[in-house]
């Protein structure tokens, strides 16, 4: 297993952020639908939600349109990304149901046990202190609150890396600054075993972890079910 090469930090480069926004707006519909499906399956249709590492806000904007009873706050450490998210919200008529602000995954701007839903998509690999983040998730969710965390994982096979890197270059990697984006993100992601370890060390108690090709999904499970590995 290759060593992790950290890609911690935020997307601050205006040109790269604008490009990310353009590509996300163009191609993120299907990933948004998949996350929405998991939210619906968990019975969340209203309440307070937070999207951590929201980038240009594509996921909360999509989900709050489908589930208007959810009041979203999208946070990101990058002011450049938050400006883009606000711009997207204005263009799409996000209204009062959604707000964006600069904030850290390690110190979520929310009171204890107040969220019904927490999302964190394609961001875990930016976090060098995942246990601190998971503890923040545990602190901020209501007892029956739900979370969905999606990211890459470093156990991915060479075959999938090859296929997805090829697709990345076609759809996302046309800009020189984004060309190595997929490989950098995978190298910065965690292995499944590392993630089990972090979750077990954290205060999050009811979760399941599973993989889908290049992705790792970590979700809350209801208290009635046993943790599955
Ligand atoms: C790859 S982007 C994902 C954006 C969005 N979730 C999506 O899937 O379109 C990762 C985002 O995480 C943000 N980020 C990195 N470290 C962070 C931290 N410690 N707290 C909050 N956001 C962070 C970056 O600025 C970047 O916008």
pLDDT in tens, 79-125: 999 999 999 999 988 677 899 999 999 999 999 999 999 999 999 99
Regarding the beta carbon of 23 and ligand 1, being less than 6 Å apart is answered no
- Mean pLDDT along residues 11-28: 91
User: What does the pLDDT read at residue 88?
Assistant: 96
Residue of 144, 160, 142, 177 lying closest to 216 (CA atoms): 160
- Listed in sequence order, the residues at least 6 apart from 11 whose beta carbon sits closer than 8 Å to its beta carbon are 17, 20, 55, 78, 80, 81
Number of Cβ within 10 Å of residue 87's Cβ equals: 14
Q: Which CATH code, of 3.40.1190.20, 3.40.50.150, 1.10.3720.10, 3.40.640.10, is assigned to 14-214?
A: 3.40.50.150
Is pTM beyond 0.85? Reply is: yes
> What is the rounded CA–CA span in Å between residue 15 and residue 110?
31
Regarding the beta carbon of 148 and ligand 1, being less than 6 Å apart is answered no
Q: How far is the CA of 70 from the centre of ligand 1 (A)?
A: 21
C-alpha dist (Å) from residue 105 to 42, 129, 211: 23, 10, 23
> What is the rounded CA–CA span in Å between residue 115 and residue 70?
11
Q: For the chain, which residues make up each domain, given as ranges?
A: 14-214
Regarding the beta carbon of 146 and ligand 1, being less than 6 Å apart is answered no
């Amino acid at each position: 297993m290759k060593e992790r090469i950290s890609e911690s930090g935020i997307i601050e480069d205006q040109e790269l952020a604008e490009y990310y926004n353009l590509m996300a707006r163009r191609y993120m519909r299907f990933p948004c639908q998949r996350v929405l499906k998991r939210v619906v399956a968990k019975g969340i249709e209203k309440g307070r939600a937070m999207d951590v590492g929201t980038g240009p806000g594509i996921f909360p904007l999509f989900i709050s349109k489908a589930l208007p009873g959810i009041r979203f706050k999208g946070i990101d450490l990058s002011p450049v990304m938050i400006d883009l998210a606000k711009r997207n919200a204005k263009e799409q008529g996000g209204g009062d149901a959604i707000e964006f602000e600069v904030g850290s995954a390690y110190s979520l701007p929310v009171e204890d046990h107040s969220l019904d839903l927490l999302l964190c998509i394609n961001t875990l690999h930016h976090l060098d202190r995942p246990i601190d983040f998971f503890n923040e998730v545990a602190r901020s969710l209501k007892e029956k609150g739900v979370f969905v965390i999606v990211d890459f994982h470093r156990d991915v096979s060479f075959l999938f890396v090859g296929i997805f890197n090829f697709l990345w270059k076609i759809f996302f990697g046309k800009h020189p600054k984004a060309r190595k984006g997929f490989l950098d993100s995978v190298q910065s992601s965690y292995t499944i075993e590392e993630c089990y370890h972090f979750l077990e060390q954290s205060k999050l108690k009811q979760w399941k972890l599973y993989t889908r090709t290049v992705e790792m999904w970590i979700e809350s499970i209801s208290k009635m079910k046993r943790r599955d590995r």
